Chain A
């Protein structure tokens, strides 16, 4: 990442830019530039083969896996409450029959980066 290797002075100089811009705004009207971007998508799946099938099939439509895999260790009861919240509050279309497998996976998951 190029920014990381800039010397400290150069960072300080970059940093001064926003303030100068802010001062200029007061005297001239803001002009907006339309924005079109691409957001990175994650192709990461929950590891574990067959045991991860239910979580991979049901959970990745709404969110990627990374934040789940970096949660601290939690009990089956706690994970069950989270899965229920996803279904009942956030309306995740999860098959009832897949719920036990998802909770099992989460409760036995070894947190990993």
Chain B
């Protein structure tokens, strides 16, 4: 599928379908408006990135590509060629030779390993459906606005990940007594030599929990390069900052990781929901960790016109965060009353879950629809937005205004 798309694009480029006006890059393919309060809200769509179909261009280099929201209405698994893309540093290898690729496991272990892809495939196979969500997904919806990638809701995706348990790989190397954390590094590098290379660490017990895995396939195919070919760490239930792409180096540490990306970056207020008041200071912080529940309507967009006199059918996707979905409820009146939605097939604890509901006919006028997920730990999405200065962990029960006539 991807290869056909690539050659099709090459043909289009060769025919000179490029220039679409002065402001747009030569390869722009339309534009979208994102629901970012106060703007700027216009973004180009692009089909120029390898292995990717139409994506929202947030940044060319290093790439930030957002999944157009309509993709989430098409099913609970996000196709690889529409899966969002986010890189920290612009030195991204553009060639990866599968036969010579090696994953190194070293540090506080009995035996260093250097595994080929074939070595890895021969280990016991493990599969899990899991949502990969950027820590800053929906940052652009924060009010007051905060700086950073101005994502709407498309910096997330759900895939069936196939690979091997990290535990099995660590066991082959033999973790020594006294190990504390495991650090992960990929092939990407900073453009400036002495800048901090992007690495992330997990506590040893987490790394060995039997769910954290090294994926060599997503949705049954090898990973697109921009999603981390050939190997990606998968940390079910945790934000994507830990899901290291192009994973090439695993280091077992006998001390807590002190480097920038684990210790200093990606910290959140140590408050429920990472919530603080704008301007508040003096609160404790911790590294971002488990995801929180979310739910999104996918068939009715903000300010849609709907009919009076007929039930309003709603559908969307929900996920529990670090556990499954217990309930999804929808409200026709801004949260005064709630109606249980029907849940679709359970693809696994960490997967998107489809929901559907039919609201009684609305009277003419403006209405605020809301949707709220409660996860299997009993955590419900808050009705008021949470806020923090990095724009992490958006979790509010989203509101969709509609006009019935």
Instruction: Give A contacts to B, CB under 8 Å.
Output: 1-4, 11-12, 14-15, 17-26, 29-30, 32-44, 61-64, 66-67, 69-74, 78, 82, 89-93, 111-113
- In Å, the complex CA distance between A82 and B125 comes to 44
Q: Nearest CB to that of A110 among chain B residues?
A: B40
Considering residues A11, A32, A44, which has the most beta carbons from chain B within 10 angstroms of its beta carbon?
A: A32
- Of the candidates B5, B145, B162, the one whose C-beta lies within 8 Å of that of A22 is B162
Task: Let me know if A63 and B147 touch, CB within 8 A.
Answer: no
Instruction: Give B contacts to A, CB under 8 Å.
Output: 1, 5, 8, 23, 25, 27, 29-31, 36, 38-51, 53-54, 57-64, 74-75, 77, 79-80, 90, 92, 94-99, 117, 121-122, 125, 127, 145-147, 149-150, 159-160, 162, 190-192, 194-196, 216-222, 225, 229-230, 260
Which chain A residues border B98 with CB–CB below 8 Å? 32-35
- Of the candidates B149, B191, B217, the one whose C-beta lies within 8 Å of that of A67 is B149
- Of the candidates A37, A44, A111, the one whose C-beta lies within 8 Å of that of B94 is A37
Which chain B residues border A113 with CB–CB below 8 Å? 23, 31, 40-44
Considering residues B60, B121, B222, B229, which has the most beta carbons from chain A within 10 angstroms of its beta carbon?
A: B60
Q: Nearest CB to that of B149 among chain A residues?
A: A67
Which chain B residues border A41 with CB–CB below 8 Å? 60-61
Task: Let me know if A25 and B220 touch, CB within 8 A.
Answer: yes
Q: Nearest CB to that of B63 among chain A residues?
A: A39
Task: Let me know if A63 and B59 touch, CB within 8 A.
Answer: yes
Contacts A34-B96, A34-B98, A71-B147 aside, 10 further interface pairs with beta carbons under 8 A come to: A17-B220, A18-B160, A22-B127, A34-B97, A35-B95, A38-B94, A39-B92, A64-B60, A91-B190, A91-B192
Which chain B residues border A15 with CB–CB below 8 Å? 74-75, 77, 79
Q: Nearest CB to that of A11 among chain B residues?
A: B74
- Of the candidates A24, A29, A74, the one whose C-beta lies within 8 Å of that of B121 is A29
Task: Let me know if A36 and B48 touch, CB within 8 A.
Answer: no
Considering residues B51, B97, B195, which has the most beta carbons from chain A within 10 angstroms of its beta carbon?
A: B195
Which chain B residues border A61 with CB–CB below 8 Å? 191
- In Å, the complex CA distance between A89 and B159 comes to 34
- Of the candidates A12, A32, A67, A78, the one whose C-beta lies within 8 Å of that of B230 is A32
Task: Let me know if A21 and B220 touch, CB within 8 A.
Answer: yes
Task: Let me know if A22 and B220 touch, CB within 8 A.
Answer: yes
Which chain A residues border B48 with CB–CB below 8 Å? 40
- Of the candidates A12, A14, A43, A63, the one whose C-beta lies within 8 Å of that of B90 is A63
- Of the candidates B79, B150, B162, B260, the one whose C-beta lies within 8 Å of that of A71 is B150
- In Å, the complex CA distance between A19 and B218 comes to 10
Which chain A residues border B230 with CB–CB below 8 Å? 32, 35
Q: Nearest CB to that of B37 among chain A residues?
A: A72
Which chain A residues border B59 with CB–CB below 8 Å? 63-64, 66-67
- Of the candidates B40, B49, B74, the one whose C-beta lies within 8 Å of that of A12 is B74
Q: What are 17 A-B pairs at a CB distance below 8 A?
A: A3-B54, A14-B1, A15-B75, A21-B220, A25-B162, A25-B217, A30-B121, A35-B229, A36-B96, A39-B50, A43-B25, A64-B59, A72-B38, A73-B145, A91-B192, A112-B40, A113-B41
Q: Nearest CB to that of A78 among chain B residues?
A: B147
Task: Let me know if B53 and A70 touch, CB within 8 A.
Answer: no
Q: Nearest CB to that of B39 among chain A residues?
A: A111
Task: Let me know if A89 and B221 touch, CB within 8 A.
Answer: no
- Of the candidates A1, A22, A38, A92, the one whose C-beta lies within 8 Å of that of B192 is A92
Knowing A39-B61, A74-B147, say if A1 contacts B40 (CB, 8 Å): no
Which chain B residues border A90 with CB–CB below 8 Å? 190, 192, 195-196
Considering residues A11, A29, A39, A89, which has the most beta carbons from chain B within 10 angstroms of its beta carbon?
A: A39
Knowing A39-B50, A67-B58, say if A18 contacts B43 (CB, 8 Å): no
